[in-house]
Amino acid sequence: MKKWSLAIVIMLAFTLLVGCGQNKYAAQAINEDVDVCEVCNMQVKDDAFATQIVTKDGKSLKFDDLGCMNTWKQENGTDNIGMDYVRDYNDKEWVEFSKATYVYDASIRTPMAYGIVSFKDKSAAEAFVKEQGVGQVLSANELANHTWQQSQDMMHHDHGEAHGHDQSRSDEHTDDHSVGHGQEHSDSHDDSSHP
């Protein structure tokens, strides 16, 4: 009887190992109609800034900015994370958080002004820095020591856009690799300066 029990245990363990080979924590598609960030409650756009955690029980948690996902991890821990994902800045493909390469600069425009974009390979991240003339290339491990501060200038600027001051430009930064240089002057008006 013990031999059968041992055989069953070994078979179950093998089945579990084979099952782990398949990605049961696969990233889910973004649905802009219903998906809101778990941290800031803003709409999660189907863009290069979207991030996602799939919990061990299969629940998908979506975030509009990598900084929001980091906040969730700080508040909830990582024990229940099956897999966490970011998107490649260039083609929006889902990439495992630990395998991606990141670029940070305070002037890089992201939805919640954390200034971090992600890439599936380091050479693409380095090319982005070279093209923009700003940015620090970081690995997932190096992000653990990152300060995760929001750019207050960027937050103020985006807050104004959200209230209709310049709504036509609010999506522009996601398409043109803009890092925000030169836009502050044209958007520097605020309601208090008008009599």
Q: pLDDT tens-digit profile of 25-50?
A: 999 999 999 999 999 999 999 999 99
DSSP conformational letter for 91: T
Note the pLDDT of residue 24: 86
CB 55 within 8 A of CB 32: no
Measured at the alpha carbon of residue 141, what is the angle toward residues 138 and 143, in degrees to the nearest 5? 55
State the residue for tokens 């084979």. 18
Average model confidence (pLDDT) for the chain? 79
From the number of C-beta atoms within 10 Å of its C-beta (0-12, 13-18, 19+), residue 27 rates as: buried
**Cα–Cα distance between 101 and 122 in angstroms, integer?**
5
Per-residue pLDDT tens over the stretch 111-130:
999 999 999 999 999 999 99
Chain-centroid distance, C-alpha 66: 3
